[in-house]
Every structure is written in C-alpha cells, then in structure tokens.
Structure 1
Amino acid sequence: MLSNFTDRPLQFFKFCLVGAVNTSVDLAVFIFLTAWSVPMILAQGISYTCGLLNSFFMNRAWTFKRRGQPAGQFARFLALNVVTLTLTYGLLVLFHYYMAWSTLASKFVATGVGLVLNFTGSRLWVFS
C-alpha cells in the first residue's frame, strides 16, 4: 500500500513528460504537413491524432506499465480525453468571459485542472 502511494509522484512526473513529448509530436507533424501544403485543418487533425496516439501508448507502456488487450483501455482513454477537453473549454469560457480573467490566466488554470483530471482518470480508470 505504501509503495502505491509513493509511486504517484513518479507516475505524475512521467505523465507530464509524456505530455511534453505529445506536444512535440503534435507540433512536429503539424509543421511537416503544413510545409507540404496540407490544409491547416487537416494538418491539425492529423497532428493532434498523432499526439493522442503517442500519449496512449507511452502512458500505457511507461507511465502506468499496463499490458494485455488495449481496446478497452483505448475506449476509456478517448472518453476521458473528451471529458477533459469539454471541461477545460468550459473553464476557459467561465474564467475568461464570465469572471473577466485574462486569456493566459484562464488557459493556465483550465490546463492545470485538465492535467489533474486526466492524470487521475488515467490512473484510476483508464489504466487501472
């Protein structure tokens, strides 16, 4: 039980590192595709999907060390990411438009909430 508790900071650190890699993958694919004149909306969809897939496989194998059939995990992963996206968008709207926070402050707080939700959901539901 104690080792499970002490593993959380390391898992969270790995989760954050994977997030940084995902952002890099997304950006690199986007830059590559737009350099080859792929329409921006299509490039964004493809690059975001590449980052999302990278996130699933890296978190599954490295952060949470799960094996076996990934289909159920992937469905839960997608559902969690839709919930996280919806919540963070709602928080952006709330903080910026209704509470008159700056765009950057709104984004920062919404991202922090999304990070905690995504990590907790991944740990307790997606890769449990």
Structure 2
Amino acid sequence: MAKQPLEFIKFSLVGAVNTLIDFTVFTVLSNMGVLLLVAQCVSYTCGVLNSFLLNRTWTFRGRGQYSGQWIRFLVLNLGTLTITYGILVYLHDYLVWPILVSKLLATGVSLVINFMGSRVLVFS
C-alpha cells in the first residue's frame, strides 16, 4: 500500500478517537451551559493533545525536533479551530442547524485541513 493512503487511514483512525474525545467534552460542557466558544475551545484542545501524540508516534512516525513539530502543530490547529468555529457558528446561529449536526460538519472540514497540514507542514 502506498504511503499516503496508509497515512490517511491512520490519520482518520486517530481522528475518530480525537472526535470522540472532542464531542464528549463538547457535549458535557454544552449541557452544563458553558458558552459555545469556551466549550468548542476546550473540547477541541483535548482532541488536539491526543492528536499530536498519536499522529507523531504512529501515523507519521515523527522524527525531528519535537518542539518544532509541536509549535507547527499548534499553529495549524489554531487556524483550523478558527475556521471550524466560524463554520459552527454560521451553521448553528445563522442557518439554525442543530448544534451536533453543525459540529459534525465543522469536524469534517477540520479532517481535510489537518491531514494536509500535518503531512506537509508538521511531520514532513
């Protein structure tokens, strides 16, 4: 199997775990009445921490300077968080879609952005 498709499969599996973590934390915080922005940032951060560790060690077998990869990974995910929060707010607040449907679509967008960014910018 070619390297890129195998990496995408591994990245997607890691993403599934990250998404489970993200959605669980988001749901708990949302049900507690935590502001949407705070719930999104906290839940997304929990997924990001897991993502970095699993993708560095398993998906991309990261070699090289840990701190440099960590900084690039954080910058990538901060950008992704900004984009996905915008999508989340637009779908939920302006189109009045259910919050978890909005979150699911925003998460799909983040999968594509993060895979390409991780492969090209972070763990290359």
TM-score in terms of structure 1 length = 0.68
Residues 94 and 19 of structure 1, relative CA distance in 2, 3 Å threshold: same
CA distance in 2, matches of 1:20, 1:100: 26
Question: 10, 15, 33: which one pairs with 2:6?
Answer: 10
Residues 115 and 104 of structure 1, relative CA distance in 2, 3 Å threshold: same
Listed one character per residue, the Cα deviations across residues 43-63 of structure 1 (whole Å, up to 9, x for unaligned) are xx6x97665333212211211
The answer to whether 1:68 aligns with 2:64 is yes
Give, as a single letter, the amino acid of the residue that structure 2 aligns with 1:8: Q
The answer to whether 1:122 aligns with 2:118 is yes
Give, as a single letter, the amino acid of the residue that structure 2 aligns with 1:63: T
Deviation of 1:111 after TM superposition, in Å, equals 0.8
- Cα RMSD, aligned residues only: 3.0
Query: Which of structures 1 and 2 has the larger relative contact order (alpha carbons within 8 angstroms, sep 6+)?
Result: 2
The residue number in structure 2 matching 1:35 is none
The answer to whether 1:79 aligns with 2:75 is yes
Deviation of 1:12 after TM superposition, in Å, equals 1.5
The residue number in structure 2 matching 1:33 is none
The residue number in structure 2 matching 1:97 is 93
Tell me the percent identity: 60
TM-score in terms of structure 2 length = 0.70
Q: Which runs of 5+ in 1 are unaligned?
A: 31-40
Q: Which runs of 5+ in 2 are unaligned?
A: 26-37
Give, as a single letter, the amino acid of the residue that structure 1 aligns with 2:59: T
